[in-house]
Structure 1
Amino acid sequence: MTILASCHCGAIKFEISEPPSTVTACTCTFCTKRGALWAYYTPDQVKLSVTPEADAVYARNGMNKHHHCNVCGCGTFSQVPTWTNHKPDFENPRISVNVRLFDDFDISSLPVETIDGRNLW
């Protein structure tokens, strides 16, 4: 089941190869302010279609690259390492997608796992 998603104006779109089994609500200061629910995929599971002029990146710590649309302001996806035992694994990158942008998908049916990002990193 392919899932389609986009920012509000459609300048950033993505296709996901399968629905997530869970979503993550992170309590770090960035995720809390963004208000996103995240699903994590390997890069080959996400097909991105990004209008270059619309793509803006915020990378405060250099590890996580958080993308948002320069036109409508939606937080769209992030490029992050896999985290194992609270340590980054740069050899296994992931794409975290904002599940709130999924089209025609009932996100209320997914269990939400909360990560205490405010205190873990």
Structure 2
Amino acid sequence: MTKMTCHCGQIEVRIFKQPDHINECNCTLCNKTGARWSYFHPSDVRVDGVTTGYCRQDKDDPGAEVHFCPGCGSTTHFNLTASAISRFGNSLMGVNMWLADEAYLAGMELRYPDGRAWSGEGEFGHVRGARVIGRTDVLG
């Protein structure tokens, strides 16, 4: 179990599973909320504290509601919206890994999906090769 907090400590996020990887997406939402996402089943995450949610206004049917601390403004996590849950089930939650201690992140794969160019269908392209946090080389 790993415990993370927002900057002011009002929100605590616990993850009960090691993430498979971390995504640093370049889409406007991820970029402007300052998030590096890892994805989990909601049962593998516990959020304590009251957050404020935001759904992007530039999409007719946004798939995620991003949450942040009302005190310090740190982005903490996202949940799928009701319409996304109806399509895919309640199977995915994102946690902002910028909240994690740097030592915890060492050795994890950091990927760079091209969210700006993604159509919303199929797999992401990537803007550059992945790297392992704590190393300087780029993976294949």
- TM-score, length-scaled by structure 2: 0.71
Which residue of structure 1 aligns with residue 28 of structure 2?
Answer: 29
Which residue of structure 1 aligns with residue 8 of structure 2?
Answer: 9
Deviates more, 1:68-77 or 1:104-113: 104-113
1:58 aligns with 2:54: yes
In structure 2, stretches of 5+ residues that fail to align are 121-140
Describe the SS at the equivalent of 1:27: coil
**Structure (1 or 2) with the larger CA radius of gyration:** 2
Residue 15 and residue 105 in structure 1: after superposition, are their counterparts in 2 closer, same or farther (change >3 A)?
farther
Report the AA paired with residue 71 of structure 1: G
Name the % identity: 31
Which residue of structure 1 aligns with residue 74 of structure 2?
Answer: 74
Which whole-Å CA distance do the structure 1 matches of 2:13 and 2:101 have between them?
Answer: 10
Which residue of structure 1 aligns with residue 111 of structure 2?
Answer: 113
Higher strand share: 1
Q: How many positions carry a matched residue from both structures?
A: 111
Equivalent residues of 1:40, 1:95 under 8 A apart: yes
Describe the SS at the equivalent of 1:117: coil
Q: RMSD of the alignment, in Å?
A: 2.0
Equivalent residues of 1:3, 1:103 under 8 A apart: no
In structure 1, stretches of 5+ residues that fail to align are 82-87
Higher relative contact order (CA 8 A, sep 6+): 1
Report the AA paired with residue 65 of structure 2: K
Equivalent residues of 1:6, 1:103 under 8 A apart: no
4+ aligned runs moved over 4 Å, structure 1: none
Which residue of structure 2 aligns with residue 96 of structure 1?
Answer: 94
